[in-house]
Chain A
């Protein structure tokens, strides 16, 4: 997923879009060097060890993706990546929708 995510963030940097990672790999001090090394520039929530969002939302495998539109409505939910093409198409649709409403 990572190479495609980098491309996605790059491609849509001036559009109404944000990629928001939710990461459970450790504390900020533990994961930050890894993010830097891998070129992960987008925002990532660092999950607490207790009562994590993944537990509250019943996330049991990675990646688990929710696509939320500009009005805050859930429009897609994927357990496992649906593939780069589908991901791009759905995001582009919602971005166009957001731009049209502005």
Chain B
């Protein structure tokens, strides 16, 4: 619902005054610059998605790759200019975090983007070690290895897991480290064993602690170990029993002799 014009005329200056109160002009300016860049990025990204609609998968991928190679690094650099000037302020955290998220959203990444992500991760450790939000940063970074490679993620997770004073952040970082070490490698790779050992340690130390995905770290660690040890392609699928929507109990093994597509899904 719209306010009457007279009321809006009264309210608007009051709102602007409140926003500006106590904020140094320079910081407000940096904040505006950051928001402008993000708005511009959102527009570009929306355009990109619109352009990709209806294209074949190959052509759509080519379009996204071109964006990642050319336009994206420019946006990241502009965001980095704001972040560098901001030192350890909350705005700097937001800007570095945004760089990491945007840079890793499309694989393969341009070299310039990789360099900026390294700078962002270093800056987050150097200036924002006390931030609780680093738990979310490292939790999502774990899924960025296909874009970024394992090493930057392992390095960041290792240092954060060692240096953060916040238990929740250390747990997320240790989990990310273990998950990247253990995931998708040949069975004989020594990193798999190290990752599994780290998961066992996480289960002991942080078992009851709730993780960023809403499950406990114990559940996450057990689940990942189960997936790695029992759910790889080529292995016999573990049997399970369940109850269907009509209240009828059944088992996966009831379907022996049929090809089964097991579909974990949700309406939302």
Contact = CB atoms under 8 A, between A and B. Distances in A.
B256 A43 contact: no
A58 B237 CA distance: 14
A45 B244 contact: yes
A71 B232 CA distance: 15
The main secondary structure of chain A at its interface with chain B is: mixed
A65 B244 contact: no
B204 interface: no
The main secondary structure of chain B at its interface with chain A is: mixed
Interface string A27-54: 0100110110000000111110000011
Interface residues of B, number: 41
22 contacts: A1-B263, A1-B265, A18-B259, A22-B262, A24-B264, A25-B266, A32-B245, A35-B245, A53-B264, A55-B219, A57-B226, A62-B266, A64-B263, A65-B261, A65-B263, A66-B261, A66-B262, A67-B259, A69-B259, A70-B257, A72-B253, A75-B234
Interface of A: 1, 5, 8, 16-25, 28, 31-32, 34-35, 43-47, 53-60, 62-77, 83, 87, 91, 94-95, 98
B264 A64 contact: yes
B202 to A, nearest CB: 14
A70 B267 contact: no
B36 to A, nearest CB: 32
Contact of B237 (A16, A22, A25, A74): A74
